[in-house]
A and B are shown apart, each in its own frame.
Chain A
Amino acid sequence: MEQKQLTEKKSNETEKVPIFGSWKGWYIFTVCFLLALILFFFTLTTIFND
């Protein structure tokens, strides 16, 4: 069982992840994108809403 999980982990590690090279890179990018959107919404609210 442990051997099987190890093999699977290895295959996941060696799989080619597009653009950022790792899934961790994708997750960080997604969080940064969300923060940028929140900042954009905050700016819109501050400038336009009364």
Chain B
Amino acid sequence: MCPVMSIARSLTLTHSDSTLIARCQKADIAAFNEIVARYKSKIYNYLYRMTGSAEDAEDLTQEVFVRMYTNIGSFRAESSLSTWLFRIAGNLCVDAFRRGKKERGVVTSLDAPTPREADEEGATHATRDVPDWSHEPDNLLSRKELGGQIQAALQKLPPKLRSAVVLHDIEGLAYDEIAASEGIPLGTVKSRIFNARVALREHLRPYLEA
């Protein structure tokens, strides 16, 4: 099959969210699987950035789709599917943070020894993931190391600011979509993103100037 035909065929086979929702509401499991395939990465990435833990993000992402599965009958077309899923994910995060079990990045002090270091007698200094920038200003970090620093900076933000900036700068949601997803006024979204960027600017200063 020629590439043009292939693209055309894939376009015609791509169903809109509203079509998939309507099919789900008629108990079409294939439509549900298509929604999972379409959104699992976005929801997982959001939850990973929120919790800082791959394991917790995986659990919570599954829970998002379980909630969707069991509540699809009550979904109204007033909001988009994306907004609805991010709202479920955000609410699950809030619940998890309230329980105090999921937000590992916040409860783990960067000054505390790593588990392996703690086993070694006399180990008290962190060598885990924050290099000393003042001593190695020209150190070129790998992409993965830089990602670790950004994640650590995100974890220092209050969850509300973190959620807003992750949804906007990482997941690419517009201000009004975040307002709908979080259930907050547009002005609150703007101020949260502003405050998050002010804080991140401080935490990530060495990278910004690089």
The answer on A and B forming one complex is no
Task: Identify the B interface with A (CB < 8 A).
Answer: none
